[in-house]
Amino acid sequence: MAAHEGPARTADGGAASFEYRSRLRIGRLPLVHVVRGIDPTTGRRPPAVGVIAVGQIAVGIVAVGQVALGAISIGQAAIGLGWGIGQAACGLLAAGQVAAGLLGAIGQIALGPRALGMVTFPGAWVALGWLVGGACLLAGIARRRRRLAPLLSPPWPSAIRSVTELAEDDLAHVAARVVSTDQLRAPLSGSPCVYWHTVEVSPGERRHEQGGGEVTIADATGAARVDLAGPVIFIRSDNYHEIAGPDWALHLETSLAEGDEVHVAGPVTLAPDRDAGGAHRGGVSPRFVGRVDQPLIVTTRNPLAFGAELRFAAALAWTSLAGGLLALVLGLF
């Protein structure tokens, strides 16, 4: 069985972007994760993270992509903890135009103690690839952890009723359903929604626009308001649209509608209850409001999946760094 997170569509109806996560998982990590295209919420190329990962940036046991890091890696820049195959490849065994292998390398330029190629150099050159790959991956993980910190720590959502016990401007995380009525139309698709977000990606520029104000969410214990007009990180990969413009720009859209199940994490205040429902204390109800230094995080994805992907990527990154240090020691002594 598989979970298909719908492809975006160009103006002529052709598939332009695509994301696939298999329902079969190893722990909370998808067995297969395939990504093609641009993330509609950031305008950037999202990584594929899974046991088998395929994407422009791929991290997995088997990784295939332009930049790939895994036990077996295939790509333009392939950093393999075991095998690396690509234009620039490193690993215990490596093959490519430029190949660096700890045990053996085959390529036009082959680097390693047992090298076969037009130009060969001895030494543990694979250390450089492993160290750089591990360091870059750890830097990316640290940045994403900081960005998603209110969602990931703690990973379990609170009931909305309990949020009223928090101090003013504290951080909270709830899982609830959007109960506001759809009153907007998304600009590209025309879909009814309570909130939309677009990104225009052109050479050297990314321009974000959003529409929607305050919406109400509810769980079994009560309701809360969410300010979507302020600083928001909106993460949704299962409902988006894409149109290529005549100016080489790419226009992407994603939206939130009545009935969607969401996780909301970030700063919460206690505001006068304005028909927000049962979660109130003395006429006061929770209101999530993002700040410039701490935007709200609103996502339709389970935060446990984010955590599993980050832990898996961190394990590969630290293994890559350890392998680089070992290769450096073997090369020096």
Backbone torsions φ then ψ of 280, nearest 5 degrees? -150, 160
Question: DSSP letters along 40-106, please?
Answer: TTTSSPPEEEEEEEESSEEEEEEEEEEEEEEEEEEEEEEEEEEEEEEEEEEEEEEEEEEEEEEEEEE
Residues 120-125: contacts with CB under 8 Å, at least 24 apart: 123/331, 124/327, 124/328, 124/330, 124/331, 125/90, 125/100, 125/331
Give yes or no for a contact between 306 and 314, defined as CB atoms under 8 angstroms apart: no
**Could you give the domains of the chain?**
2-148+309-332 (no CATH), 154-301 (2.40.50)
The pLDDT of residue 247:
67
CA quadruple 118, 121, 124, 126: dihedral sign: negative
- Residue 187, helix vs strand vs coil: coil
Taking alpha carbons only, the member of 37, 12, 81, 36 closest to residue 321 is 81
The pLDDT of residue 109:
94
* The overall pTM is greater than 0.75: yes
Residue 74: how many CB atoms within 10 A of its CB? 21
* Residue linked to tokens 């929604």: 193
The pLDDT of residue 282:
52
Q: What is the mean pLDDT of each run of 10 residues along the chain (333 residues)?
A: 43 54 88 82 80 95 96 96 95 95 93 90 90 95 92 85 75 94 91 90 81 92 91 80 72 90 92 56 78 92 90 96 91 60
- Quick one: which H or E segment has residue 24? none
